[in-house]
């Protein structure tokens, strides 16, 4: 990353006028990091095993001393098994889907069968009389979709229906059967309006208008969203020329005139749905003195804040609990329309209400990755140096904006002239949501194929070209340089054959693509660590575990400070009453939570040392916590079990709460909720594919995934996430695609048998190489990996496809039809 100056907002609080100003005035430079007393600290910087150097940073005075490399630690950096693993393999882990409260009612939504309609009337009387029904609620406002800039542009008692499957009303009844039966009795009179479901049709001037006027689309903490204040003509909103505040720069026309080689092509990607195994869901329990929400969410605070705002409750009257979240991938923020209905119904019925999407609704309205049509043109000199990059991109996120294709064009490679135009195209389809590296996956698919094509055109090795232009000097660029080397050795790059070498119908090839993602820090991240008089240690933070292993890494970091084992630590997340914690999105939990946790644990340990020191007749500075024991430095014989020492010290309870400090070097950009470093997160992936040129079937046989995430806190869990990113990337590249019926606007494959996702038989052999990179920026130097692991895969597969067949595949997914079409091109 370089020149990172802006990002998505977090809660959509920015008013359009503010946004316009921000775009006009340019991004704000954040204030210097960490005001207050500080010290100059020598720290190790670089990739462990590949040349470290010492740097000096200005560090807050009360930050713990820097950690050495992982090999010298006992808990951090070790492949510790997931602490909640036993709960998950025994079925004891309680997801929102599993919450059953006394007197709980079952919620059922009434969905519009039409893709575009005004609602003339709704008659709920028969449903209200149905036995077992306790409450009925009609949708008054819609979340997740784009909002009209001028709400008065549309009149009507009920929100206009803009996609088939949009919720209209809901019932709560004492059994699922009664709720379903009653929902069918709700009579809705619609006035159908003309609709449009394909991006190509929607872009036409005379296409039916999805919205009657210009719109705004706030982002969630997972990213996505669209910048405010952009022009809108018909269904086409844009252009956005500064994705995440970056670019344009130079003069691309001049750049192309100076270019010796120009590579230009159009790329198309499909709509992908999130398909978390646990669908979106919320159980609302409205009581006079407290609203308790059990939510399948990626950020408990987003659920609390939205519920408090919409129901005008103080935040201390809303509690959100999320013990386990069964996957999210970017789509699970806020209360959602289902949650809004659940809360209304619970308030009316005075009973808890469970509202969980079924698999069909999950596809239709739970979120998706927008499609894209990208026209990308890159100009270069014969030596490979880039001169100009120009992109025009259209994408549709249905009734929501946010179809940009990332920020890689102006940040990944050195290029003096960059111009990007991105447009949102509205269609009568379910709203998009942030999806694992929103935009960047689509953008990299096109950019990394173009760079590959350029390498071929100028007769340069694909890795050598990248080495020449990936030179920003940021941490991610340094990591990629090392990753290219390690990966090339592992995969056998030197034996790569020229494109289309196989003579028979089955063709094999090897390709590479680079990853890039922002290194985000969630500001206002806190952690409380508590030591009880019996020697037990607990840590609390209002973050959540969506499958990444948050509890485990939290326990590892705290255990390190006390010389305990991770399983000795009680690690608690998933409750909005704990100190504020990061969103599980933007690959930011580990980078944000672990420094706060270490800082709190360190303070606890030092205070404990002071309390224990008299027992040993030593000074507190000489007390050492290691291997479950307390001892005096240099006197092994003094060792006493940790618990015994705490008990003898007379401590009843001590606790410290600490915050995530700013990165020691500061940030390129900050909003009230998050900061973005000028450094990014890298990654390089190599793919081997086999293409059957007679059937058009593509198999990904092997992926070598080389990644960096700062200091890996737990390499075992990190590897799992990289497996997941690669597998989702292969799935996106080869299979996944939402199919809408243009006539009815209904999704034809809103299930998991016809919406094809990689299964056990299609999983390639995946080899993961993980760097340990110390950036000297925080008390743990940890960064995330979830999104970087998903960014490069489809592009690497596409480049391998070219190496196999000698043909470019510029359309995803690589279904037989798309593959055979690509093979027919000349």
Partner 1 sequence: MAPSDDDSDPKPLLPKLSRRAFFTGAGASALTATLVQTAAQAATQAGPAVLGPEPSTLQLDLNGRTVIVQADPGTTLAELLRNQLGMTGTKVGCDRGACSACTVWLDSEVAASCMTLAFDARGRKVTTIEGLARGDELHPVQRAFVENDALQCGFCTPGMVMSCAALVERNPKCTLDDVKQAVSGHLCRCGTYPNVFKATLAAAQASGKGKGKS
Binding site for partner 1 (CB under 8 A): 81-82, 84-95, 97-98, 100, 176, 274-278, 324-327, 329, 358-359, 546-549, 716-717, 719-721, 723-728, 731, 751-753, 757-761, 763, 766
Encoding tokens for residue 350?
A: 């005075």
Q: Which of 331, 360, 345 is nearest to 293 (CA)?
A: 345
Pair of tokens at residue 361 = 């609704």
Q: Are 608 and 568 in contact (CB under 8 A)?
A: no
Neighbouring-strand partners of residue 248: none
Nearer to partner 1, 333 or 407 (CB): 333
**Choice between 202 and 812, CB closer to partner 1:** 812
CB of 757 to partner 1, least distance (A): 6
Nearest CB to partner 1, comparing residues 84 and 483:
84
Cβ–Cβ < 8 Å for 195, 116: yes
Instruction: Please identify, using beta-carbon distances, which residue of 305 and 323 lies nearer to partner 1.
Output: 323
| Cβ-contact 566, 554 below 8 angstroms | no
Instruction: Determine the 3-state secondary structure of 489 from DSSP.
Output: helix
User: At a CB cut-off of 8 Å and minimum separation 6, what does 566 contact?
Assistant: 75, 80, 83, 552, 555, 556, 559
Q: Could you tell me the smallest distance in angstroms from the CB atom of residue 701 to partner 1?
A: 14
* CB-CB contact of 718 with 546 (8 Å): no
- Taking the complex as a whole, the smallest distance from the CB of residue 634 to partner 1 amounts, in Å, to 37
> Which residue number, 451 or 786, has a Cβ lying nearer to partner 1?
786
**Tokens at residue 463, please?**
């890795």
Q: Distance between alpha carbon 222 and the CA centroid of its chain, in Å?
A: 5
Residue partners of 119: CB distance under 8 A and separation at least 6: 156, 157, 158, 159, 160, 161, 168, 188, 189, 190, 191
In the bound complex, what is the minimum distance in angstroms from residue 559's beta carbon to partner 1?
18
Q: Report in angstroms how near the CB of residue 548 gets to partner 1 at its nearest.
A: 7
Output 195 or 280, the one with its CB closest to partner 1.
280
**Count helices and strands in the chain by DSSP H and E runs:** 20, 36
Least gap, CB of 91 to partner 1 (angstroms)? 2
Give whichever of 436 and 808 is closer to partner 1, judged by the CB atom. 436
Find the DSSP H helices in 293-439: 300-310, 336-349, 359-365, 408-411
Shortest Cβ 763–partner 1 spacing (Å): 5
**Taking the complex as a whole, how short is the minimal distance between the CB of residue 290 and partner 1, in angstroms?**
24
Residue from 587, 652, 613 nearest 791 by CA: 587
CB of 337 to partner 1, least distance (A): 21
For residues 186 and 175, what is the distance between their CA atoms, to the nearest angstrom? 17
Q: How far apart are CA 709 and CA 552, in angstroms?
A: 17
**CB-based contacts of 298, cutoff 8 Å, min separation 6:** 221, 222, 325, 328, 330, 332, 333, 544, 546, 583, 584, 585
Rounded to the nearest whole angstrom, what is the least distance from the CB of residue 726 to partner 1 in the complex? 7
Question: Which residue, 95 or 426, is less far from partner 1 as judged by CB?
Answer: 95
Query: Least separation, in Å, of the C-beta of 79 and partner 1?
Result: 8
Nearest Cα neighbor of 522 from 470, 583, 566 is 583
Give the distance from CA 802 to its chain's centroid. 29
Q: How far is the CB of 326 from partner 1 (least distance, A)?
A: 3
Q: Concatenated DSSP letters for 51-103?
A: -EEEEEEEEETTSPPPP--GGG-SSTTS-PPPTTHHHHHHT---BGGG---TT
Residue 406 C-beta: closest distance to partner 1, Å? 21
Strand order of the sheet with strand 526-532? Answer: 569-572, 537-540, 526-532, 653-659
By beta-carbon proximity to partner 1, the closer residue of 216 and 361 is: 361
**Torsion over CA: 453, 457, 458, 461 (sign):** positive
Cis peptide before 813 (omega within 30 of 0): yes
Within a 10 A sphere around the Cβ of 494, how many other Cβ atoms?
8
DSSP designation for 315: G
Looking at the Cβ atoms of 387 and 769, the one nearer to partner 1 is 769
> CB of 420: closest distance to partner 1 in angstroms?
31
3-state helix, strand, coil split of the chain in percent (to 5) is: 30, 30, 45
Q: How far is the CB of 549 from partner 1 (least distance, A)?
A: 8
Toward partner 1, which CB reaches closer, 90 or 155? 90
H or E, element range at 468: helix 462-469
Nearer to partner 1, 92 or 382 (CB): 92
Instruction: Report the C-alpha gap between 732 and 443 in whole angstroms.
Output: 14
Whichever of 82 and 588 has its CB closer to partner 1, that residue is: 82
| DSSP 8-state secondary structure symbol assigned to residue 48 | T
**CB-nearer residue toward partner 1: 171 or 705:** 705
Nearer to partner 1, 20 or 751 (CB): 751
CB of 402 to partner 1, least distance (A): 21
> Residue 332 or 629: which CB sits closer to partner 1?
332
The residues that bridge with 691 in the sheet, in sequence order, are 507, 698
Nearer to partner 1 (CB atom), residue 160 or residue 590: 590
Which distant-in-sequence residues (6+ apart) come within 8 Å of 440 by Cβ? 405, 406, 407, 408, 516, 517, 787, 791
Smallest distance, Å, CB 565 to partner 1? Answer: 15
Contact of 203 with 425, CB cutoff 8 Å = yes
Per-residue tokens: 598: 């270490």
Q: Which two tokens stand for residue 654?
A: 């001590």
The torsion angle over the Cα atoms of residues 789, 791, 795 and 797, rounded to 10 degrees, is 30
Rank residues 436 and 657 by Cβ distance to partner 1 and give the closer one.
436
- Least distance (Å) from partner 1 to the CB of residue 538? 22
């Amino acid at each position: 990353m370089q020149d990172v100056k802006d990002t998505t907002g977090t809660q959509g609080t920015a008013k359009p006028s503010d946004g316009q100003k921000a775009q006009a005035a340019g991004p704000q430079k954040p204030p210097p990091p960490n005001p207050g007393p500080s010290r100059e600290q020598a720290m190790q910087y670089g990739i462990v095993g590949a040349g470290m150097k010492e740097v000096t940073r200005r560090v807050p005075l009360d930050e713990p001393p820097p950690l050495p490399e992982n090999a010298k630690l006992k808990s951090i950096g070790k492949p510790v098994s997931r602490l909640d693993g036993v709960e998950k393999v025994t079925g004891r882990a309680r997801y929102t889907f599993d919450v059953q409260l006394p007197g709980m009612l079952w919620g059922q939504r009434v969905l519009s069968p039409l893709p575009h309609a005004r609602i003339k009337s709704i008659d709920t009387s028969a449903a209200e009389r149905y036995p077992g029904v306790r409450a009925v609620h009609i949708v008054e406002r819609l979340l997740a979709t784009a909002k009209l800039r001028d709400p008065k542009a549309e009149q009507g008692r009920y929100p206009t229906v803009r996609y088939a499957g949009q919720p209209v009303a809901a019932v709560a009844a004492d059994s699922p059967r009664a709720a379903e039966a009653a929902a069918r009795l709700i009579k809705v009179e619609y006035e159908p309006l003309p609709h449009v479901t394909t991006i190509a049709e929607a872009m036409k001037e005379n296409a039916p208008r999805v919205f009657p006027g210009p719109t705004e689309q706030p982002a969630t903490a997972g990213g996505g969203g669209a910048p405010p204040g952009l022009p809108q003509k018909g269904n086409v909103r844009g252009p956005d020329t500064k994705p995440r505040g970056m670019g344009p720069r130079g003069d691309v026309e001049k750049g192309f005139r100076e270019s010796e080689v120009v590579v230009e092509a159009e790329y198309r990607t499909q709509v992908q749905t999130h398909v978390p195994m646990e669908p979106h869901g919320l159980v609302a329990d409205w009581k006079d003195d407290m609203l308790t929400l059990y939510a399948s969410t990626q950020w408990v605070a987003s659920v609390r804040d939205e519920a408090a705002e919409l129901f005008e409750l103080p935040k201390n009257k809303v509690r959100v609990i999320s013990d386990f979240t069964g996957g999210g991938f970017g789509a699970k923020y806020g209360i959602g329309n289902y949650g809004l209905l659940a809360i209304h119904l619970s308030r009316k019925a005075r009973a808890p209400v469970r509202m969980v999407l079924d698999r069909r609704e999950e596809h239709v309205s739970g979120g998706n990755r927008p499609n894209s049509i990208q026209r990308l043109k890159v100009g270069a000199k014969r030596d490979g140096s880039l001169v100009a990059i120009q992109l025009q991109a259209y994408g549709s996120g249905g009734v929501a904006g946010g179809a940009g294709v990332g920020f890689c064009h102006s940040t990944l490679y050195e290029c003096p002239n960059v111009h990007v135009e991105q447009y949102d195209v509205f269609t009568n389809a379910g709203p998009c949501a942030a999806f694992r590296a929103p935009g960047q996956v689509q953008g990299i698919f096109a950019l990394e194929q173009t760079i590959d094509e350029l390498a071929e055109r100028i007769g340069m090795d694909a890795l050598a070209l990248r080495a020449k232009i990936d030179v920003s000097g940021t941490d991610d660029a340094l990591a990629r340089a090392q990753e290219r080397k390690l990966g090339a050795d592992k995969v056998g790059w030197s034996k790569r054959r020229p494109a289309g070498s196989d003579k028979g119908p089955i063709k094999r090839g090897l390709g590479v693509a680079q990853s890039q993602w922002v290194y985000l820090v969630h500001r206002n991240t806190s952690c409380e660590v508590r030591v009880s008089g019996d020697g037990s240690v607990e840590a609390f933070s209002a973050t959540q575990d969506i499958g990444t292993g948050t509890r485990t890494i939290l326990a590892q970091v705290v255990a390190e400070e006390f010389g305990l084992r991770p399983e000795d630590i009680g690690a608690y997340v998933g409750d909005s009453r704990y100190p504020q914690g990061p969103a599980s999105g933007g690959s930011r939990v580990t980078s944000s939570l672990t420094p706060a946790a270490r800082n709190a644990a360190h303070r606890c340990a030092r205070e404990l040392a002071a309390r224990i020191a008299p027992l040993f007749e030593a000074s507190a500075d000489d007390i050492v916590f290691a291997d479950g024991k307390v001892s005096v430095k240099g006197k092994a014989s003094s060792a006493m079990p940790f618990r015994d020492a705490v008990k003898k010290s007379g401590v009843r309870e001590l606790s410290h709460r600490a915050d995530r400090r700013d990165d020691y070097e500061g940030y390129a950009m900050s909003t009230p909720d998050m900061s973005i470093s000028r450094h990014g997160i890298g990654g390089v992936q190599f793919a081997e594919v086999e293409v059957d040129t007679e059937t058009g079937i593509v198999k990904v046989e092997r992926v070598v995934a080389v990644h960096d995430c700062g200091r890996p806190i737990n390499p075992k869990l990190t590897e799992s996430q990289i497996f997941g990113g690669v597998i989702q990337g292969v799935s996106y590249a080869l299979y996944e695609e939402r199919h809408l019926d243009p006539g009815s606007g209904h999704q034809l494959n809103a299930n998991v048998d016809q919406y094809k996702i990689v299964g056990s038989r299609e999983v390639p052999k995946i080899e993961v190489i993980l760097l340990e990179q110390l950036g000297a920026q925080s008390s743990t130097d940890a960064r995330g990996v979830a999104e970087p692991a998903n960014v490069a895969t489809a592009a690497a597969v596409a480049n391998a496809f070219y190496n196999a067949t000698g043909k470019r595949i510029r359309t995803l997914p690589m279904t037989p039809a798309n593959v055979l079409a690509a093979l027919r091109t000349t």
